[in-house]
């Protein structure tokens, strides 16, 4: 290690020590996350100003920051499957009603897909207002390579069909899906968990002693998994700080300026869609400002980590402990929202790309003959998009190939992809939380005492209300 690297790590450790002191003094979870986010931006900008975005010192510093940032993301990914399984099974055991399960699923998925169509419409509007077009853009070596990568994956996107996608939700080997081996593994685990829960409720009347024993086992497993979630979520401020510091330090200001129009248009579209989510929360009877304050920590994590799937544990904890959404609905919304109807990655992004690229092949992107099929394809393509890095690329491949547009041109945006992907991921998670809130309110199951309370997520007690 050289001296600059040691100094950088010393400063980062000092910030981590500060965050730990805030935790020890029982500063609120929201305050710690907000502080970590701000310090990450400041320190990352300082590193870039001193060394330059592409300097070896920044690269080496980023590798060490990944131990904290990506390490935290991996811990979250570790608990996703256990959390989904025990929470959904326990929720079904409490429901004892298959029709309620169908209603929850229908409302949740319907809300996710509907908001994705709205998001795509907003993306189209912003592309038109900002006059975005891929005509005349030049490509660097990295962008050419990205275009070739997308062209190489085109066949896989074209092979996707709605029947095939639905079939992929069925877990032929649930243990394989527990490893996250497929893009639809999360949904497959949800389906498997539903079968376990329904099967257990089916023997409640015939073999009550067996049902009670299984129910007790699930309860114990749920308590243990929730404790594990608590331990991991305590690390959130440290993870947010490390992820944000690395992102800001390694971002190229010139690349952002070169495609500033697309960046600004993208964030305007994201902001408008966030507004739609707040309007939906308000229409359901919740105070939008209080709602926003309560979901901020999970949005901050999604923004810095760029993983919708990795945000599932924190999303569930936020919905149950801060919004008053029942655990069953919260888990359905977070799990389905990580792979279905992602407003940012599968809604706004592919729609904007399609409108930008259409003029390069002589198509009027504002004609009804182009827009109506585009919205329909976006809705279909939003089903099964992986909630991890690269999901937006796959969604774009599906939409562009279905619209018979040149997919390689999407590679021209690679230089600003990480910056925009942060906002897209936060919007994805916001959309899944909104779906949970709308479903919970529609069914009259929201605990308003929890929502109206100013209590934070309690990560210091032995159990969470999750």
Evaluate whether residue 113 is within a structural domain. yes
Give the Cα separation of 185 and 177 in Å (integer): 5
Dihedral sign from CA coordinates of 443, 446, 447, 448 = negative
| Overall domain count for the chain | 1
DSSP string, 336-402: HHTTB--IIIIIIHHHHHHHHHGGGGT--TTSHHHHHHHHHHHHHHTBT--SSTTHHHHHHHHHHHH
Give the Cα separation of 216 and 198 in Å (integer): 16
Give the Cα separation of 92 and 100 in Å (integer): 9
Those residues with Cβ within 8 angstroms of residue 399's Cβ, 6 or more apart along the chain or in another chain: 350, 351, 353, 354, 374, 377, 378, 381
List per-block mean pLDDT (blocks of 10 residues) for the chain, which spans 466 residues: 89 94 86 88 90 87 92 86 85 70 87 94 93 65 52 55 74 87 78 89 88 92 87 88 87 67 90 96 94 92 84 89 90 83 88 88 88 89 60 75 74 69 92 95 92 70 40
Rg (alpha carbons) of the chain, rounded to whole number: 22
Evaluate whether residue 28 is within a structural domain. yes
Whether the CB-CB separation of 14 and 23 falls below 8 Å is answered with: no
Those residues with Cβ within 8 angstroms of residue 342's Cβ, 6 or more apart along the chain or in another chain: 116, 308, 382, 385, 387, 391, 395, 424, 428, 431
Evaluate whether residue 463 is within a structural domain. no
Give the Cα separation of 393 and 442 in Å (integer): 34
Give the Cα separation of 390 and 307 in Å (integer): 10
Evaluate whether residue 465 is within a structural domain. no
Q: Which domain holds residue 245?
A: 3-452
Chain position carrying tokens 């966030």: 274
Q: What is the pLDDT at residue 144?
A: 54
Q: What is the CATH number of the domain that holds 434?
A: 1.10.3860.10
Whether the CB-CB separation of 309 and 463 falls below 8 Å is answered with: no
Phi, psi (deg, nearest 5) at residue 340: -130, 135
Tokens of 453: 């309370």
Q: What is the pLDDT at residue 85?
A: 87
Q: What is the pLDDT at residue 255?
A: 61
Q: What is the pLDDT at residue 29?
A: 81
Evaluate whether residue 323 is within a structural domain. yes
Dihedral sign from CA coordinates of 229, 113, 283, 272 = positive
Evaluate whether residue 460 is within a structural domain. no
Evaluate whether residue 458 is within a structural domain. no
Evaluate whether residue 461 is within a structural domain. no
């Amino acid at each position: 290690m050289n001296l600059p690297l040691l100094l950088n790590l010393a400063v980062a450790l000092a910030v981590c020590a500060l965050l730990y002191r805030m935790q020890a003094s029982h500063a609120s979870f929201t305050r710690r996350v907000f502080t970590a986010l701000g310090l990450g931006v400041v320190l990352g900008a300082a590193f870039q100003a001193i060394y330059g975005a592409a300097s070896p010192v920044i690269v080496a510093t980023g590798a060490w920051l990944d131990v904290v940032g990506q390490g935290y993301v991996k811990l979250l990914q570790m608990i996703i499957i256990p959390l989904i399984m025990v929470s959904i099974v326990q929720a079904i055991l409490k429901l004892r009603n298959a029709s309620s399960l169908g209603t929850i699923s229908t409302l949740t998925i319907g809300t996710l897909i509907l908001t994705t169509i709205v998001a795509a419409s907003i993306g189209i509007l912003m592309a038109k207002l900002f006059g975005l077009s891929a005509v005349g853009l030049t490509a660097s070596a990295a962008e050419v390579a990205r275009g070739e990568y997308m062209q190489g994956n085109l066949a896989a996107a074209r092979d996707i069909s709605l029947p095939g996608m639905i079939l992929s939700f069925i877990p032929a080997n649930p243990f394989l899906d527990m490893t996250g081996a497929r893009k639809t593994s999360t949904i497959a685990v949800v389906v498997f968990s539903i079968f376990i829960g329904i099967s257990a409720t089916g023997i409640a009347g015939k073999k009550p002693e067996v049902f009670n024993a299984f129910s007790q086992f699930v309860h114990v497993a749920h308590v243990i998994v929730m404790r594990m979630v608590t331990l991991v979520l305590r690390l959130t401020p440290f993870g947010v700080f490390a992820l944000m510091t690395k992102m800001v330090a390694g971002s190229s200001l010139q690349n952002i300026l070169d495609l500033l129009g697309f960046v600004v248009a993208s964030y305007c579209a994201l902001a408008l869609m966030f507004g739609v989510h707040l309007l939906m929360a308000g229409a359901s009877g919740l105070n939008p400002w209080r709602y926003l304050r309560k979901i901020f920590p999970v949005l901050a994590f999604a923004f810095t980590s760029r993983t919708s799937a990795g945000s599932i544990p924190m999303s569930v904890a936020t919905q149950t402990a801060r919004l008053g959404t029942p655990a069953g609905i919260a888990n359905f919304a977070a799990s389905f929202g990580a792979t279905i109807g992602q407003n940012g990655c599968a809604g706004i992004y592919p729609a904007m790309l399609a409108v930008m690229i259409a003029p390069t092949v002589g198509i009027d992107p504002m004609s009804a003959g182009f827009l109506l099929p585009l919205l329909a394809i976006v809705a279909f393509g939003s089903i099964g998009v992986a909630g991890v890095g690269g999901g937006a690329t796959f969604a774009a491949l599906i939409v562009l190939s279905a619209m018979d547009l040149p997919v390689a041109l999407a590679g021209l945006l690679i230089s600003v992809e990480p910056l925009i992907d942060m906002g897209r991921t936060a919007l994805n998670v916001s959309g899944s939380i909104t779906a949970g809130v709308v479903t919970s309110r529609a069914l009259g199951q929201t605990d308003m005492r929890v929502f109206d309370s100013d209590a934070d997520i309690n990560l210091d007690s032995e159990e969470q209300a999750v």
